[in-house]
Structure 1
Amino acid sequence: MKTSNDKAVAMHHGRGLVGRVGLGIIALILTLVAPSAMAANIADIEIEQRGMGRTDKDYIKAHLQASVGAEFSASLAAQDVKRLLETGQFTTVNVRVEEGAGGDVKVIFTVQPKWRLAARPEFQGVHRFRQGKVRKLMELEDGDLVDEQAAGVAMRKVIQEYRKKRYPRATGTWTFETVNEARGLVRLVFVFEEGKPSFVNEIEVKGNQTIPNRELRDALKRPWVLNPWYWIVRKKYDLFELGEIESNVKRQYMNQGFMDVQVSVSSDSEEGGRRAVVKVQEGERYQFGDVRLVGNTLYPDEALRNQLTMQPGTLASLDAIENSAERLQLYYGDRGYLNAGARPVLVPDSQTRKVHVTYNIREGELVNIRNIIIRNNTRTKDKVIRRELLVYPGEVYNQTRVQRSERRLSNLGFFETVRVIPEQTSRLAERDLVFDVTEKRTGQFMIGAGFSSVDNLLGFIELSQGNFDLLGWPYFTGGGQKLRLKMQMSSSRADYELNFTEPWFLDRQLSLGFDLYRRERDYTEYDLKRTGSAIRLGRALPFASRITMQYEIEKNEISDISDLNTYYLLDTYDFETHTGTPFQFTSEEDGVKSAVTLTLAQDTRDNPFIPTRGNRFSTSYSVAGGPMGFDYDFYSVGLQTASYVPLWFGHVLSLRTRFDFAEPFGEADEVPLTERFFLGGGRTLRGFKYRDVGPKVIRQVEGSDRYYDRPYGGQSMFMANAEYTIPIIKMLRFGLFYDTGNVWSEQYTVDFNDLASSTGMGLRLDIPGFPIRIDRAWVLEKDDEFTGEDNWVIWIGYDY
């Protein structure tokens, strides 16, 4: 056997659609061919094979719902065909029914097995890429099952990569050659024709009299003039981007009323040139005229017109027309009418300069959900998926809740793709709602080293599983739980953490988690060790909010106190008499904190790591000691806000504020040193030394006019930050920032006339799992003359 396909990419692009249509009509074919079989029992099931290789008939029968002696069902037969195809073992599966004696039937499944690669695929004509890269793109290895469709998918991946590298004429073919017919072994050879690279880097617009070039910048995909990357490298456009530019410019004009606009793009790149011309014929500018609804029998015009986003006499807009069509379709979909639609027909009147819009409505059919089927969840348990769904068997189909369910599954982070498929059943008014998922890797092991301006050289090891299952022996995955083990060490710190979270405790919307940790810090004045554990219980609330209660018990050990001299509080120090309120790091000190914390948070950000829009608000109240017992008696209150505002060209403005207050109670005279607030450094106020902003103690150096100073923290803190980020290239952003804040020794004290502040710029390297921030800061205002500066900040981690 030797087969080839010279039109692989075009031919196989529609293969999946053909398969779906074929499956959809199997039940109808069976009904027409064997009407009497619908009430007959199955006397026998046969398996036939076409093509090369061997077929395990027992394996096939194990995947069938149909069984000898059972009543034949056309819909179950169709499901059996689909189930066999989903095993990935077969190229085609067909079923037919033969009527036998006594009215019983014989069901015959005919399968064509996929071929198996006898060796790794071969490539010819590849010059632009290394062979290893092509193999990685295709994901085909020795022993893999293949067919024409698999070869076409692999080919398309490579062709898409060629197009990314400005090879728009790249094409390819493939050939299968038989190696062993009995075993179904084949050899696969790909032949590529790369063509020549073709791109332009200069675009000229002609004929745009109403919309100036600066307003067409987004449509033309021109980089922002202040993006420093494009001061060095000129942007290149390939032929496919020129097609997108043509569509973008036309849409922008149509959104501003030019419904007859004509846009064309021509380039000289084929002849080796680097220039493209966008020609615009604007035409007339229209307003909306009459808006009519045709075909609606279930709901009156008044109810449907409330879904329209345009009004007669306003400027015509393609977005408004399409949005109204989507809202009409959603109106029906939310009331159970599947396959509803609204097709707009535009009739421009050049005399009155009005465009009349008619929506031809297809109302579809009212559908109930029969079953909800979870498919291809090879690791994740069914209940983990089902508990995220907002639709249930037996209820009327609701499109909004289906879409929200799809988003909730996607947001879990367990799946590469999530598809919702309403499948036809034997009853016209019922559908099986299938959630088809593709699992992705959720575990991560990281080991590495880095550098920060605070810790200098540091190393870390982290093991995490976002889809953990505590009782899921032997793989411990699929339960939707989260587990993280982390160790991080440097010359001045050592952190060890274990975190576990069950997001659906007792199958309710309650999250239960625990933390075990040990944190060691070597400060200039002393060493601090914190060893503790915490248990958390949280519940989701409406409006993207959450309430969490946590109990924490922690042992604090202060040791290796290096400075036993007497200091004086800077706030009370008299520089003439050299006296003030004395302070000493006098003795090693151990203490146990037992605290309960209540936190209320709301988070509407689009991404928890690198947000571009939305807000985050949280407030917390904590009580340590008192009824909780042990050594420390104090309470604290905190408030944090963050807002992310998307601007033009992917720019984002972020604004953050933070207030924290602590106060002792009972027999305690002060908040413990380990629980005080400090500012300064890469994650708080950039440009200042680590923990150096706020209350200090000082002492004079004997026989000198110089002073030693040490921070000792405060009981009130305020911090604010504004940052403006500009995307440069993928995973690299440029940032401008302004930081301000201070710490005060008194409780509930915020003096906005007494703030330290800094400004600066930097780079954000958004490497997944290992983001790096590099900033250069300039101090604008210090809180006191003893506060030190640290102008360069290198930090590993996401924004605070």
Structure 2
Amino acid sequence: MAVKNKKIQYRSLTAKVDKSRSTWIISDQKDKKSLIIPQIDLLKSKNHSSWYKTFLFALLSTVGLTFPFKAIALSDTITTSTNLSATTDLTTPEKSSVTLENHNADFVIAEPSEAKKELFSPNLTAQTQPSESQANPNPQPESNSEPQPNPTPQPNPTPQPTTESQPPVDEPRVLVSEVSVVGVEGELQDLVFNTIRTNPGRTTTRSRLQEDINAIYATGYFRNVKVTPEDTQYGVKIIYEVLSNPVLEKVEIQTLPEKKDGQTSLLPSDVIEKAFTDQYGKILNLRDLQEGITEINKWYTDNGYDLAQVVGAPQISENGVVTLVIAEGRLENIQVRFFDSEQEEIESRTRDFIVTREMQLKPGDVFNRKTAQQDLQRVFGLGIFEDVKLSFSPGQDPSEVIMNVDIVPTNTGSLAAGAGISSTSGLFGTVSYQEKNLGGNNQTVGLEFQLGERELLFDLSFQDPWIAGDPYRTSYGANLFRRRSISLVYDGTDTETIRTAENNDSPRVVRTGVGFSISRPIAKDPFSPADWVISGGLQYQNIEIQDADGDRAPRSGEAFGSQKLAFNSGGIDDLITLRLNASKDTRDNSLRPTNGSLLLLGMEQTLPLTSILYNRIRANYSYYLPLKLLNFDFMEGPQTLAFNVQGGTVLGDLPPYEAFVIGGSNSVRGYGEGDLGNGRSFFQATAEYRFPIVSFLAGTLFFDYGTTLGSGGAVIGKPSEVRGLSGDGFGYGLGVRVQSPVGPIRIDYAINDEGDSRIHFGIGEKF
């Protein structure tokens, strides 16, 4: 901006307003003269009438005759040229501007020449352009931090007026003779007049014009503001040239990074319509647009997309199409990191894929808080980690992030040894070892040896919960065993026990065998709840009936009818069994269910490779119904009515030790273990009302019923009849559940249909 300035002499005039008398006081400091005139309220309008201009001219001419009032330039004329501009990229590529051009300063009040240069300096700009840091289109999650919901982004589409402050005392002032607004009409023109603070008949400054520019932008309706002053013989005419935003026709979404083939935006079209439908067909208001942007950001947050947000400034085209850029928080990569208890990064034997295969979130997916929480629960549920959490790092693409799975491993191996004595094995010693993360593959191996006075027992097992590379979460296991137990078919708690013929001992059933099983959930993906879980297996067993000394005992004593204790007369049976099972679980909680159901179906078929051929069928159904019968202030927790029915039968050959047994803590309470009966078939039903007492204690009212359906006599040796078991009965009572780290400790007091009572103990609910 050039300021042509020859040697000029100035006459110093001052103009003051006496508000108490609504007058102007015009003073000439050189001649010590003053003039008091009424203060004129010059109306802001588009077009002033002819009488108004005549009146104004006459008034100022009178003042000019009384004082040497004009232009202060006694020899030459000052020509000042400057640009008063405000730029913004919030609308179109066209730069919005405000200019003061070719102003012949014929009227200045009490300003020296240097101050006048400052008034028309070229640096007057509206504070409307957001900095790059404010309009950064790429969200950067904080490194090494858990995901936190982002605050609503502020793309700064609406310029905010600068904070008003009193201008400096020496700031240049000019007298405004007229104010006009061009470029818009009607309500928008009135809006501008009501927004600006520059008034005719009063002075204005750079700061005041700056505030007007920002205030006009702040209404949200305008994309270009240009201020042009025109010199008149009565003062300066201020012209506000404004350009309004277009009529909003459509809002489009653009995501960062750009979508690849087949990818679509997560944001449903109806959410966009709901946010902006009231604005369509109207002149775009950036404040209203920001409210719609806030609704979009809220939709992302409410649906778990915490890293997603509208970024940058809206792109507005001339035809009224607004494009919003959304960084949805896409994952560039997922990294698994291991730390010790001191939070120092370490190497771990656990392979990364063991963790990442449990996560539904994959590289290229948009981060979702709800999905991430489920992923962390699955990873922690592996049982081989002490702590699992998430953090984030910037990706190579600024619009993407790297999700870090930070893990603190735990000890996965255990070794135990002990000694004891039992009626089955006599004096014995045991050694057991378990590793739950074999080779870093989350595979479990268990070894248990029991060396007794008479023989060596063992149980070796291996389990892989998810075959590597399988997309369906297929698991398999194998075991090798030699086990010894007293069958409840022959031996009860309070009833007579069948004895062997040789030394009158309780018969021991020794099983030696090997087995293999495989299981697969039936679901649309490995992370969805399975509709069904199907499993199958093959097992070989060599079964021998022994006495307490470990000698074979094929028959019972004469007092018990000298009956066979095994299917074969020699006391040794071989079984090759094919097993198939199916389950459907809709319970809300597997440990303490309050709603839903569980269905278990099973079938065992021996193969005709040995002398024994039978088919065992069994079904078990549980149903849980939430209700509230009791209402006490101290009761904390849900109340549930639970039902269970189960039954089964065996078709074909039936070794006696394979008969169904009823009675006991997991069957009909009030009876000892196996003391109600045994048979080829059975049916059992239970009803329980479960209610809370205090936070760690719950109560139960129950009723059990069981029957062998008269099939006790169909078992070889008729052990149920020999022992005098009724084969049909019920029990009822009440119990408490004490919460503990290993699960609810179950204590039940039950009375059976014969009037006998018994206390039962157990871990976990009965069903």
TM-score, normalisation: structure 2: 0.47
TM-score, normalisation: structure 1: 0.45
Bigger radius of gyration among the two = 2
Greater helix content: 1
